[in-house]
Amino acid sequence: MSSTELPHVLAATAAPKPGVVSGTEGERTETVALPGLTLSVRARPGAAPGLPPALYVHGLGGSSRNWSALMPLLTDVVDGEALDLPGFGDSPPPDDGNYSVTGHARAVIRLLDARGRGPVHLVANSLGGAICTRVAAVRPDLVRTLTLVSPALPELRVQRTAVPTGLLALPGVAALFTRLTKDWTPEQRVRGVMELCYGDPAKVSPEAFAVAVREMERRLAHPYFWDAMARTARGIVNAYTLGGQHGLWRQAERVLAPTLLVYGGRDQLVSYRMARRAAAAFRASRLLTLPEAGHVAMMEEPAAVAAAIRELLADTGELSDPHEVRDGVGVTDDRREPGTKDRREPGTRS
C-alpha cells in the first residue's frame, strides 16, 4: 500500500547498466494555492506545444519525485505534471486535516479544475491508484486514460509484508513506532524502505542511495510527517471497508477511461495475484506484468512502463504517429482495438 521517496533506477532496457536519474534537470516546481489547500506541483513540460496533459500521483510516503525516472521518457507525447499530495513532498497538510482517499481525490479534482488541464492522462502508483480510481469514476470528464502501477485496491488476504504499513492506521502506532525507531539513522530507514519496495534493491547505486538519505532527512524534519502517514494509512483502511457504490472495486467497474494496469512480480505491498481481478474489474483495461519488479515499477523499470503507456496512447488515438519511437523504445506491433481487454496472464508483457 505504500510507495516511498526512493532514488530512481534506469531499467537495463534503456541503458547498458542501472544508473541514476537525477529528476531535477528539465523540471520546474510551483505552488498552487487553493482555498484550504496548498499543493506543490513538479512539471516536466512537453517537448512541443499542444501536447495533451498528464498528471502523475504518488503513493503513501512518496512524492512527485517518484515520477522523475518516467516523466522524461514521455515528454514527446504528453505535457506532464506530478503532484505532491497534501501532507507529502513539499505540500503542507490540508487545512481540514482530511487524509481520506476521498479527501485526496478531492484535492486531485480541485487541482485539475483550477488549472483547467482536464481531461488528462492520469498515472498513479499504490495509494495514488486508489485515489485516481475514485477520480476516474466520479469525474470521467477529467480523465483521458488511466495508468495504475500497483494500485492499492482492497485485498481479502493481505500479504504479511504489507501488515506493518496497515498497522500505521491504528491510533498510537505511529507515535509508538517513532519512539521505538528514534535511534535509527536515515541510512537504516532508507535501506528498510528499499528492501520493502524494490524488487531488487541491489540496482540502486551508492550515489542514488546518498540522494535518498538526504531526502529522508529533509522529510523527517517536517513536524507533520508521521501524522500525515498515519492519517493517510487510516484513510486507506477505511476505504477498504466501504461497500456498495462507494467501494473501490465497484468504482473500478464504473471507470470509462482506457486503463493500463502494471503489476510487479516481487511486490511485497500489493499482491501480484490481484492483477487478474483488476483486469476483470476495469472494463477497458490492458495488463503489463513485470516479474522482476517490486512495488514501484515506474522507478525500477521506467522504460518498460513508458513503452506500455505509449502503446495505450497509440491505441486510443492520442499519438499522431502510432509507430513513433523514442530512445529506442517503441510501440509494439501487437495491436488491439481501443477499449478491449488484454487477456494475457500475469507474468507476460503487453
Q: How many CB atoms lie within 10 A of CB 314?
A: 21
User: Can you give the pLDDT at residue 172?
Assistant: 54
Structure-model confidence comparison of residues 66 and 340, the more confident one: 66
Mean pLDDT of 110-128: 95
Share of the chain above pLDDT 70, in %: 76
User: Can you give the pLDDT at residue 133?
Assistant: 98
Domain for residue 91, yes or no?
Answer: yes
CA pair distance 118, 95, nearest whole angstrom: 25
Structure-model confidence comparison of residues 8 and 239, the more confident one: 239
Domain for residue 84, yes or no?
Answer: yes
Inform me whether the pLDDT recorded for 47 exceeds 80. Answer: yes
Domain for residue 336, yes or no?
Answer: no
- What does pLDDT average to over the chain? 81
Total structural domains in the chain? Answer: 1
Inform me whether the pLDDT recorded for 25 exceeds 80. Answer: no
pLDDT tens digits along 266-307: 998 998 889 999 999 999 999 999 999 999 999 999 999 999
What is the residue whose three cell numbers read 498510537? 172
Domain for residue 21, yes or no?
Answer: no
Q: Which three cell numbers stand for residue 102?
A: 476521498
User: Can you give the pLDDT at residue 22?
Assistant: 36
Inform me whether the pLDDT recorded for 4 exceeds 70. Answer: no
Residue 295 and residue 267 in contact, taking contact as beta carbons nearer than 8 Å: yes
Range of the domain at 261: 28-330
Domain for residue 338, yes or no?
Answer: no
Confidence category of residue 11, pLDDT binned at 50, 70, 90:
very low
Inform me whether the pLDDT recorded for 331 exceeds 50. Answer: no
Mean pLDDT of 69-92: 96
Name residues whose C-beta falls within 8 Å of residue 57's C-beta, 6 or more positions apart in sequence: 82, 83, 85, 108, 122, 123, 124, 125, 128, 131, 132
Q: What share of the chain is helix, strand, coil (3-state, %, to 5)?
A: 40, 15, 45
Domain for residue 254, yes or no?
Answer: yes
User: Can you give the pLDDT at residue 160?
Assistant: 58
| Total-model pTM | 0.82
CA pair distance 300, 312, nearest whole angstrom: 20
Structure-model confidence comparison of residues 172 and 101, the more confident one: 101
Domain for residue 8, yes or no?
Answer: no
Domain for residue 13, yes or no?
Answer: no
Give the CATH number for residue 189.
3.40.50.1820
